Amino acid sequence: MNDPYRQDPALLRGMTQRRLGRRDAFRLAGLSAAGLALAACGVQGKGTARPSSSAQAQSEVEKFWSGKTKNGHVDFANWPLYMDPKQPELKQFTQQTGITVNYKEVILEMPSWFAKIQPQLAAGQSIDYDLMVVTNGLHFQRLVQLGYLAPLDHSKLPNFAANAAPEYKQESFDPGNVYSIPWASGITGIAYNPKYVDTPPTSMADLWNPKYKGKVGMMSDSQEIANFGLFAIGVDPDKSTEADWEKAAAKLQEQRDAGIVRKYYDQAYTDPLAKGDIWLTMAWSGDVFQKNVSDGTDLKFVVPQEGGTIWTDNMTIPKTATNPVDAIMLMDFFYDVNVAAHLAEYINYVTPVPAAKDVIAADAAKATGDDKKLLEEVASSPLVFPSEQDSARLRNYVNGKTPEEQKKFESIFQAITTS
């Protein structure tokens, strides 16, 4: 069935297509019984517990990295449209280090990627990639639980230590960055059209306000809508229980039964928001930024006072990697401030390197015409560089649940958007 509101991915420089792939991944993770069965019982591996102490963690690091040396090559698996196709950063890396990089955009969704690599990892075999970008969520947790990811040697990550924002060093899904460091992030908050909304929304309560009956957009993705339901009842998703999920679902059902929600969107909400079919909606920061840049709209984006969601795509090294030393060198290279800035200039996602903002502003000062305008918008956008106040209110998806709890979670929140 054709969706009249679906945007042409070619209209946006990477953002729409990239986000669609990402959202499909989360939806499939929630709705696919086969995917959940794989995560719950079909996966075989030695398994490992997260290190219980710093001494244990250091022991695992030393065990993995002992005797490993630079080989001069990296095979890198990433999502589509997550780097300038000309790959200037990788060329610079090769020039500086002599390490060649085979870069492939082969990760289209997490469930299928996990299913592809799991048999090889379980058998202790190479997956033909030394570095892969994995989204926080169910599949990241399974990779950790099954012992498929290499523990990172932080003595080899000086740029990360010096330049990563503090919040990226205390991720709830990977405390201490034992197995991952971020590639890029995005935010789920509230977008609104100021043509129709006189008073800027500041609270989750605005999405339940009867005066917007039939003019509110919500997301169909269970992880996304669950977080907003939990925020609405004052619960941190990271600390939520099954009882909290039931209360949050009741709150969301109340919103639906009152006729406030016009539609539950997978991703194509920016056109109806711009047209006035909906006046305010759950939204991803990057979509709003790209819509304004590409179409000249003036949509606004806010992080509600109760909180917003931050999702993060993370660089990880499979434990069976052939070239882990080269891979970790490349990981740290992307935390060079200038490299991080130029990557953010192209992909327009939230960068984990806050000092990149000054570099982008300096590049804008030297640019002309449309390039100058775009770079100025990137450097000044809170959608690419969130304020400290906004960052403090951001939370992750519900994490660390068992496969059985995950099934229960999905069944509770799917009922809201599919009933």
Domain ranges of the chain: 54-185+311-354, 187-310+394-418
pLDDT tens track for 85-110: 999 999 999 999 999 999 999 998 78
CATH of domain 54-185+311-354: 3.40.190.10
pLDDT tens track for 223-274: 889 999 999 999 999 899 999 999 999 999 999 999 999 999 977 899 999 9
Helix (H) or strand (E) holding 379: helix 369-380
pLDDT at 419 over 60: yes
Low-confidence winner among 109-118, 211-220, 399-408 (lowest mean pLDDT) = 399-408
pTM, entire model: 0.76
Query: What confidence tier does 352 reach under pLDDT thresholds 50, 70, 90?
Result: very high
187-310+394-418: CATH architecture: 3-Layer(aba) Sandwich (3.40)
pLDDT at site 222? 85
pLDDT tens track for 125-150: 999 999 999 988 778 988 998 999 99
Largest Cα–Cα distance in the chain? 65
Residues 339-364 as b/e (b if ≥16 CB within 10 A, e otherwise) read: bbbbbbbbbbbbbbbbebbebbeebb
Same fold, 54-185+311-354 and 187-310+394-418: yes
**Which residue has better confidence, 27 or 218?**
218
Residues ≥6 apart with Cβ < 8 Å to 117: 127, 132, 148, 318
Mean model confidence pLDDT for the chain: 86
pLDDT at 288 over 50: yes
Contact 279, 214 (CB under 8 A): no
CA distances to 98, 141, 230, 386 from 395, rounded to whole Å, are 39, 17, 11, 13
Q: Which two tokens stand for residue 12?
A: 């946006």
Q: What phi and psi values does residue 219 have, to the nearest 5 degrees?
A: -90, 150
pLDDT at 278 over 50: yes
pLDDT tens track for 161-177: 999 999 899 888 899 99
DSSP 255-289: HHHTT-EEEEESS--HHHHHHTS-SEEEEEHHHHH
Contact 410, 47 (CB under 8 A): no
Helix (H) or strand (E) holding 418: helix 403-418
pLDDT at site 143? 95
Q: What phi and psi values does residue 185 have, to the nearest 5 degrees?
A: -135, 165
